[in-house]
Structure 1
Amino acid sequence: MERRRWLKVAILICLFAVSSGRELKAKHTDHIPIYNHTLATILVEYASAVYMSDLTELFTWTCSRCDDLTEGFEIIELIVDIQHCLQGFVGVAKDLNAVVIAFRGTQEHSIQNWIEDLFWKQLDLSYPGMPDAMVHHGFYYAYHNTTIRPGVINAVKRARELYGDIKIMLTGHSMGGAMASLCALDLKVNHEAQDVQVLTFGQPRIGNAVFASYYSQLVPNTIRVVNEHDIVAHLPPYYPRFPQKTYHHFPREVWLYNVELGSLVYVVEKVCDSSGEDPDCSRSVTGNSISDHLVYFGIELMGETWRSCRIVMNPNIEKYGRTDLNGNFILSKDPAILKLNSHSNVGSNFV
């Protein structure tokens, strides 16, 4: 076992050594999304709420994480894939004048084990309709081949029937951020959604540079927030000398880091370049912190317990649900017709 561990270390050292040369530059759109701090602090609360295991409180939006900046949000559908330990919701936010879609991050019993596994993930799936674009099948599968996708698409369809071609905002943390990005791409390519915006937290890389180029052209309104030394944002590893087989972030990153001035500590929100792999942003530091991965803007992004896939639901809420043969289920309701504000300022600079 010890010999095997040292072999892994030796391989990593070699890979990092050969990756120090010329970098591959992915081609990205000229459209530059503008970072909106207020929008980020709102969406991080949605990314936190989706971790809640009490589905009754989440579905009725009465949970301990369902107030503050997200007060008044109304869920249309809550999708729970028991089989694959996945969860997401779709609803309407009056203050944002938008449909909000949030995906839960990993709920593995041990996040350390999940991170170790993520370090060794390989690109092994060609993305449909994008020549030479490759992604990891695990992230692709989590969105495309589970009950999550049909549940989300159905809820978006219902929202658009009520509100027209309403703005769609997607968010998620960790693997939830990867799923949010794949969902945004799906909505743009396959479902003719026009105004799609993505803002994720601690998102891992999900594809190669070719995929990143396609993505940034199709979903240009994307922001990835990375906190300090967040380990997951550095994974799977980036090796510039292997352009077809290395993972590559798509833009635009906003890197959060602390600056100390005497006894005061200031949080800097640095908007990075359009490469997706700005060497002066999170790549300028070592990604070695799990704690930086679990808290963004002072908001916890994790489940209440480490027990994998634990859920609680009041029997009275079951009338809103439908279940498949594998035990996966969707809680669904018709939303109240909210009077949306067509002049909402929140998120208006995230264009």
Structure 2
Amino acid sequence: MAVPIKLFLVVQVLVAVVLLNGGPVADAFVFDRKSCGAVPSNNYAYDESLAKRMMAYSASAYVKHPRILQDWTCTLCKSVLKGFQPFRVIETDDLLSYMGYDSTLRMIVVVFRGTVGPGRFTAFVKNWILNASFKKVKPTRLGLSVPGEVHDGFYNGYVGMQTQIISALQHLQAQHPRAGLYVTGHSLGAALATIATMDFYSKGVSTNPIMINFGSPRVGDKCFAKYFSEKITRSIRVVHSKDIVTHVPPEITGYQHVSREVQDKTTWDHRVYLGYRGISARRRK
């Protein structure tokens, strides 16, 4: 969902205080003068019905108890996402991912949860600390061939789940050897999905993954964005210009979006655009 303006401003003030005191994110606020060439666009066709299905998967990740995902008993699970066979739910103190086989699409789907609400206070605080860490690091755990740098918080968040996710995905692929792979997520989950997709490709776990995410922040610098966009040719970011999350970290800090962006300007929230106006209440069931 779009981040409330007041909450976003509070987070930005906290980040500014860290910067003024010489904190670890200070290095991010330096002009990035590296020349990596233009980030290429891709021609992957936007399918609104597919986007709605991926949005439903992303929304379902916010359920109150992970067991609901394992049993596949959430509201969306039993309605628009019939045919999904849950395989594994992977959870850390503050992050969650789940995966399974979609028999309707005949594809494996890996989903990452976004930032949780203040009702789960500890995870909420940890999510925002992770979001606010603008420092860039080399993504060495994604494979030596991946150039550029990525957001320290998003990267380390994914690395904490990496071994479990890849192991579970490989077991699932063994059960469905002909299935392709979708990777999706919303907000923070979209950022994790971007890093995971690059990881799956660079390690040969999936040679042609498809990423469709929602409300993604910028994940890496121009060199990373260019490499990702060259290698992951079936990628779509659904965004809204009024969603503040999609504008951070700011480009002045050296970050750049990966291709391809699909923007809808008819409403303030892509969830509404994709038909999930009541998702905040429904997802908790």
Q: TM-score, normalised by structure 2?
A: 0.76
Equivalent pairs, count: 251
Matched ranges for 1:162-201 at <5 A: 162-201=175-214
Residue number in structure 2 paired with 1:41: 52
Residue number in structure 1 paired with 2:89: 78
Residue number in structure 2 paired with 1:88: 97
Amino acid at match of 1:248: Q
Pairwise CA distance, 1:141: 0.5
Residue number in structure 2 paired with 1:161: 174
Distance across 2 between alignment mates of 1:304 and 1:181: 27
- SS for the counterpart of 1:251 is coil
Residue number in structure 2 paired with 1:57: 68
Distance across 1 between alignment mates of 2:49 and 2:61: 19
1:136 lines up with 2:151 in the alignment: yes
Q: Does the CA contact (< 8 Å) of 1:181 and 1:198 recur in 2?
A: yes
- SS for the counterpart of 1:164 is coil
Distance across 2 between alignment mates of 1:114 and 1:45: 21
After TM superposition, where is structure 1 displaced by more than 6 Å over at least 4 residues in a row? 110-117
Matched ranges for 1:179-328 at <5 A: 179-239=192-252, 245-258=253-266, 292=269, 295=272, 297-299=274-276
Q: What RMSD in Å do the two structures reach over aligned CA positions?
A: 3.4
The 3 A distance-change label for structure 1 pair 115 and 86 is: closer
Identity among equivalent positions (%) equals: 27
- SS for the counterpart of 1:193 is coil
Distance across 1 between alignment mates of 2:130 and 2:88: 31
Distance across 1 between alignment mates of 2:262 and 2:70: 31
Distance across 2 between alignment mates of 1:169 and 1:152: 14
Instruction: Name the structure where helix makes up a greater proportion of residues.
Output: 2
The 3 A distance-change label for structure 1 pair 302 and 107 is: farther
The 3 A distance-change label for structure 1 pair 222 and 94 is: same
Amino acid at match of 2:51: A
1:105 lines up with 2:120 in the alignment: no
The 3 A distance-change label for structure 1 pair 112 and 88 is: closer
Pairwise CA distance, 1:228: 4.2
Distance across 2 between alignment mates of 1:300 and 1:180: 23
1:123 lines up with 2:135 in the alignment: yes
Pairwise CA distance, 1:29: 4.5
Q: Does the CA contact (< 8 Å) of 2:114 and 2:185 recur in 1?
A: yes
The 3 A distance-change label for structure 1 pair 97 and 113 is: closer
The 3 A distance-change label for structure 1 pair 121 and 295 is: farther
Amino acid at match of 1:78: V
The 3 A distance-change label for structure 1 pair 226 and 106 is: same
Matched ranges for 1:321-336 at <5 A: none
Long gaps (5+) in structure 2: 1-12, 20-30
Distance across 2 between alignment mates of 1:183 and 1:161: 19
Distance across 1 between alignment mates of 2:273 and 2:69: 21
- SS for the counterpart of 1:66 is helix
- SS for the counterpart of 1:149 is helix
- SS for the counterpart of 2:220 is coil
Pairwise CA distance, 1:123: 3.5
- SS for the counterpart of 1:141 is helix
Cα deviation digits, residues 165-199 of structure 1 (max 9, x gap) = 42000100001001111111111111341230000
Distance across 2 between alignment mates of 1:171 and 1:234: 19
- SS for the counterpart of 1:70 is coil
Distance across 2 between alignment mates of 1:197 and 1:185: 11
Q: Does the CA contact (< 8 Å) of 2:116 and 2:127 recur in 1?
A: no
The 3 A distance-change label for structure 1 pair 233 and 193 is: same
Amino acid at match of 1:36: D
Long gaps (5+) in structure 1: 12-18, 240-244, 259-266, 268-290, 306-310, 313-351
Q: Does the CA contact (< 8 Å) of 1:132 and 1:210 recur in 2?
A: yes
Amino acid at match of 2:68: E
